[in-house]
Amino acid sequence: MDNNFSNYSDPQVFTRESEGARSGFVANVFAWMFGALIITAVLSYLFGSQESLVRLLYSETGMTPLGWIVMLAPIGLVLLMSFGFQKLSAGALMAVFMLYAALMGASLGFIFIAFELGTIFLAFIISAGMFALMAIAGYTTKMDLTRFGNILMMALVGVVIASVVNMFLGNQMMDTIICIVGVLVFTGLIAYDMQNIKKNAAYAMANPEAGRKMAIMSALSLYLNFINLFLMLLRLLSSRD
pLDDT digits (tens, 9 = 90+) for 52-67: 788 888 877 778 888 8
**pLDDT (tens digit, 9 = 90+) per residue, 111-125?**
988 899 999 999 999
pLDDT at 19: 59
d(CA 238, CA 241): 5
Tell me, what's the pLDDT at 122? 95
Q: Collect all residues with Cβ–Cβ distance below 8 Å to 238 and sequence separation of at least 6.
A: 114, 115, 116, 119
Spatial distance between the Cα atoms of 104 and 101, rounded to a whole number of angstroms: 5
pTM to 2 decimal places: 0.87
**Per-residue pLDDT tens for 88-108?**
999 999 999 999 999 999 999
Strands (DSSP E) contained in 64-120 are none
First to last CA, the chain: 72
Q: What is the per-residue pLDDT for 205?
A: 75
51 or 178, higher pLDDT: 178
Amino acid occupying residue 10? D
Q: Could you tell me if 18 and 202 are in contact, meaning their C-beta atoms sit under 8 angstroms apart? A: yes
Q: What are the C-alpha distances in Å from 58 to residues 10, 67, 69, 70?
A: 63, 6, 12, 11
- pLDDT reading at 18 higher than 70: no
* Cα dihedral sign, 80-83-87-88: positive
Comparison of pLDDT for 54 and 130, the residue scoring more: 130
Among the listed ranges 72-81, 181-190, 194-203, 217-226, which one has the minimum average pLDDT value?
194-203
In this predicted structure, which of 3-17, 25-39, 175-189, 221-235 has the lowest mean pLDDT?
A: 3-17
